[in-house]
Amino acid sequence: MISELLINAFLVTIMLSIAIALIKTRTVIFTVILTSAYSLVAALMFITLDAVDVAFTEASVGAGISTILFLAAMAYLPKKEVESISSEFIPALSCIILGGILIWCSFDLPEIGQLTAPIHQHIAPEYIKGSKEDIGIPNIVTSVLASYRGYDTFGETIVVFTAGVAVLALLEKKNTTKKNKSQPKQKIKKNA
């Protein structure tokens, strides 16, 4: 119990220091790398909560591929962030108020792993039992993701597909308009 507390305190300290460094830095590449480091610590946090699948996703997507995509997109940004906010008082105040409300609400949450918590009463026992009997798969996360909640995962896949196609369409359009030099458009305007 005490070792768990120590590990959690250690991880939270690292997360906090990364967050403070993120506020302070004004160089875009440091921001991207610090965000990646933050995701990696978050993945460790998920492991301490025994959520291995989520940790895996966070490490591969949050710390891995999104960093590369940010770096690829970063090439079109100026190297330094422009300081636009003149006063830091109002953002800081709103953050403190929101954080205070969240901490205040967290006192009402049931303890982690408590069996009588509402989340463990609804359909979770059915899934835990059924995963072994109906589906025959030891990993309950996979059986919930792909079978019990197959519709949701289908929607998720379509969302990923749509997002990818949308980005491709946006970038492709700019490429072609630069090449064609928009001469045909002017002719149409004159006719109209």
Partner 1 sequence: MHNNPILRISTKILFAPIILFGLYVQFHGDFGPGGGFQAGVIVASAFILYSLVFGIEAGKKLFPTNVNLILLALGGIVYGGVGIVSIILGDEFLAYNILGSSPQSGQHIGILLVEFGVGLTVSNVMIALFNAFASYDKVKEK
What is the distance between the alpha carbons of residues 124 and 114, in angstroms, rounded to a whole number? 13
What is the distance between the alpha carbons of residues 90 and 111, in angstroms, rounded to a whole number? 34
31 makes contact with partner 1 (CB under 8 A): no
Strand, helix or coil for residue 80: strand
Name the minimum Å distance from CB 103 to partner 1: 31
Select the residue interacting with partner 1 from 8, 60, 121, 186 (CB under 8 A). Answer: 60
Q: Which of 64, 24, 23, 25 is CA-nearest to residue 43?
A: 64
Q: Which of 15, 76, 21 is CA-nearest to residue 46?
A: 15
Select the residue interacting with partner 1 from 90, 119, 171, 192 (CB under 8 A). Answer: 171
78 makes contact with partner 1 (CB under 8 A): no
Handedness of CA 125, 130, 136, 137 (dihedral sign): negative
79 makes contact with partner 1 (CB under 8 A): no
Name the minimum Å distance from CB 171 to partner 1: 5
Number of Cα atoms under 13 Å in the Cβ half of residue 108? 5
Select the residue interacting with partner 1 from 139, 173, 185, 186 (CB under 8 A). Answer: 139
- Residues within the interface to partner 1 (CB under 8 A): 52-53, 55-57, 60-61, 64-65, 68-69, 72-73, 75-76, 134-139, 141-143, 145-147, 150-151, 153-154, 156-158, 160-161, 163-165, 167-168, 171-172, 174-175, 178-179
